[in-house]
Amino acid sequence: MSAAQPTIAVPTPPQGYACPLAVLNWVREIAALAQPAEVRWLDGSYLEYATLLQLAQAQGVIQPLDQSRWPGSYYSRSHPSDVARIEERTVICTPTADEAGPTNHWADPAEMKTRLMGYIAGAFAGKTMYVVPYLMGPPGSRLAKVGIELTDSIYVAISMRVMTRMGRVALDQLGSSLEFNRGLHATLGCDLERRWIAHFPQENLILSTGSNYGGNVLLGKKCLALRIGSWLGHRQGWLAEHMLILKVESPTGEVNFVAAAFPSACGKTNFAMLIPPKAYQGWKVTTIGDDIAWMRIGADGRLYAINPENGYFGVAPGTSHASNPNAMATLARDTIFTNVGLSADGAVWWEGLDGPIPENLKDWKGNPWKPGSPEKCAHPNSRFASPMINNPALAAEVNDPNGVPISAIIFGGRRATTYPLVIQAFNWTHGVYLGATLGSETTAAAAGTLGQVRRDPMAMLPFCGYHMGDYLNHWLHIGRKLSHPPRIFHVNWFRKGTDGKFLWPGFGDNMRVLEWICARTHGHGLGEETPLGWMPAEGALRTDGLAPADIANLAKIQAIDKAEWDRELELQSELFQHLGDRMPKPLIYERELLKARLG
């Protein structure tokens, strides 16, 4: 890269920071290239955060909400073209296209680096370059990873403080180690033409240009924790997964930690913060994480998980006191809202929020909005970024450096047909097959044909940083090393009846399925063997307090329709063909076994 000198003196980190020379050199190198007016190291302190919020306000990047109702919370609007992850511009830059595999967009690493570094040359002129050291995972954890993100965006700087353990804690963890992720983000006026999210796994490097949307620019989240993380996990023998982690405690004191993968927009945050229904007196569900799990094999042969994040970056529309009271309590303060509706008196609003609709609303684009307007007030992908410490149902183990022992892994998709409410895999390989063939129907909000099934192995399609076939093989390999593997399940909250209505009430009532899952991991909980796997035996799912219509639907929701399964097996073969000879043989065999069991 450039041997140029920065036009300004690059400060060393604030006093007291220990910082390997490699970090300092990376900062100097990029300062020399991007030529900012100022370089500012962030220490992660509250005082610093308060100063940054003031500065962001003065720059018009955020505006305060009514502090009497939304204490510590701010509003921001993104560029209207920059509202979501951009999969076609998200590239894996491995030396060969084969390493990235057929499910990723690949770009030549040298060409991509030259192109993006070209964009970044001089791009920070007149601006501040923030140096954001951040830690993914609890301090002191063997699984935690350090990243250094350099950015010209104050929005990124403040959001990283919410979403990660940011500042000094990261450099303390790094010590003299040279294993850190280098991340560079340049806003470039949110220029669509120059928008790229480029991952260089072999160099532990991420370059993000032309966007300011969270999933593209908060580099610790999807970029490091999943795409680079999955690649590191493959090399180092652990798993980086798109999974929530929750803790279930029964009235008798039985504890289970459960990890669950669902494709985006299938209610992961709601499930992670589930409140059991009234009939479940004495049961408690608490949250470890709502989006990402890093899991390693413990010395006792169990799988241990941490949540690498420190905050929630949740989808606002649909979040309400009815659907997710814990999320509402979490976002009630200290939150940065992006692209929701805003009222003249400083309140936020989105579709699905309960309570009166505020007067004098502006929509996410800043246009006046009234109920009944044809446009949505909040963008369907509008977000809240809230510190996880605000969650009233935060599990006590969330900062445990050892992680929590996972006893069940759940895969789930949005399927109007075919899949029953819950299946337990016969064994690990069968469970990996259930995860590998995970599919979800596209929703009205997404482009494409409504109801079309998108195959999304382990809910990792947009997030696996290497060849999907090798990734599935890695799962099989991990299973072989676990003497006490978690049990694996598949759930479907979204099956519909012939009238097009959901057959299952979902939300808090998902506790009934969770109870059965936990019981199965402890060897009780009656199951019935079916061609698909184990399903709850008659009476094994608790129904007290469930509406009579929902009870009546149970047989329909657990039904196995042969014609639907014939079609499903056909659809699955598309994925198998796509992965070609890298599709692990044991999974091909599982499909044959399923075919045979279905007759």
Instruction: Report the site for ligand OXD in 79-138 (rule: CB under 6 A).
Output: 85
Output the CA torsion 350→351→355→361 (10° steps).
50
Residue 442 tokens read as 């596209």
Sketch the per residue contact string, 350 through 389, with ligand OXD: x for CB under 6 A, - otherwise: ----------------------------------------
| Among positions 215, 289, 413, 465, the unique one binding ligand OXD when judged by CB under 6 A | 215
In 470-525 the beta strands, taken as DSSP E runs, fall at: 487-491
State the number of binding residues for ligand OXD (CB under 6 A): 5
**Catalytic residue status for 518:** no
Do 342 and 361 touch, CB atoms closer than 8 A?
yes
Question: Does the footprint of Mn ion cover residue 291 (CB under 5 A)?
Answer: yes
| Among positions 211, 264, 310, 492, the unique one binding ligand OXD when judged by CB under 6 A | 264
What DSSP letter does each residue of 273-290 carry, written as one string?
Answer: T----TT-TT-EEEEEES
DSSP letter at 463 equals: T
Nearest residue to Mn ion by CB is 291
Taking the complex as a whole, the smallest distance from the CB of residue 291 to Mn ion amounts, in Å, to 4
Provide the 10 A C-beta neighbour count for residue 324: 24
Closer to ligand OXD at the Cβ: 313 or 411? 313
Q: How many residues does the chain have?
A: 599
Provide the 10 A C-beta neighbour count for residue 448: 10
* Alpha-carbon span 550 to 558, nearest angstrom: 12
* Alpha-carbon span 583 to 305, nearest angstrom: 26
Cα angle, residue 414 at apex, residues 411 and 418 outer, rounded to 5°? 90
Sketch the per residue contact string, 366 through 405, with Mn ion: x for CB under 5 A, - otherwise: ----------------------------------------
Residue 75 tokens read as 């509003």
Choose the catalytic residue: 266, 377, 464, 518.
266
Closer to ligand OXD at the Cβ: 185 or 512? 185
Stretch of 255-263, 291-299, 386-394, 526-534 contacting Mn ion, by CB under 5 A: 291-299
Sketch the per residue contact string, 312 through 331, with ligand OXD: x for CB under 6 A, - otherwise: -x------------------
Residue 336 tokens read as 């940065």
What crossing angle do the helices spanning 585-598 and 468-481 adopt, rounded to 10°? 80
Closer to ligand OXD at the Cβ: 85 or 496? 85
Closer to ligand OXD at the Cβ: 217 or 297? 217
Backbone angles phi, psi at 492, to 5 degrees: -145, 105
178-200 burial: b if 16+ Cβ within 10 Å, else e: eebbbbbbbbbebbeebbbbbbb
Residue 130 tokens read as 């923030």
Q: Which of the choices ligand OXD, Mn ion, none does residue 215 contact, using the CB cut-off of 5 to 8 A by kind?
A: ligand OXD
State the number of binding residues for Mn ion (CB under 5 A): 1
Enumerate long-range contacts of 174-177, CB under 8 Å, 24 or more apart: 174/19, 174/20, 174/23, 174/133, 174/146, 175/18, 175/20, 176/18, 176/20, 177/20, 177/146
Closer to ligand OXD at the Cβ: 49 or 313? 313
Question: Does the footprint of ligand OXD cover residue 465 (CB under 6 A)?
Answer: no
Q: Which of the choices Mn ion, ligand OXD, none does residue 456 contact, using the CB cut-off of 5 to 8 A by kind?
A: none
Do 534 and 426 touch, CB atoms closer than 8 A?
yes
Question: Does the footprint of ligand OXD cover residue 48 (CB under 6 A)?
Answer: no
Question: Does the footprint of ligand OXD cover residue 412 (CB under 6 A)?
Answer: no
Backbone angles phi, psi at 97, to 5 degrees: -65, -30
Question: Does the footprint of Mn ion cover residue 363 (CB under 5 A)?
Answer: no
Question: Does the footprint of Mn ion cover residue 241 (CB under 5 A)?
Answer: no
Closer to Mn ion at the Cβ: 48 or 291? 291
Closer to ligand OXD at the Cβ: 85 or 362? 85
Taking the complex as a whole, the smallest distance from the CB of residue 242 to Mn ion amounts, in Å, to 6
Taking the complex as a whole, the smallest distance from the CB of residue 317 to ligand OXD amounts, in Å, to 13
Closer to ligand OXD at the Cβ: 29 or 241? 241
Sketch the per residue contact string, 274 through 313, with ligand OXD: x for CB under 6 A, - otherwise: -----------------x---------------------x
The site for Mn ion (CB under 5 A) is made up of 291
List the catalytic residues.
Answer: 266
The site for ligand OXD (CB under 6 A) is made up of 85, 215, 264, 291, 313
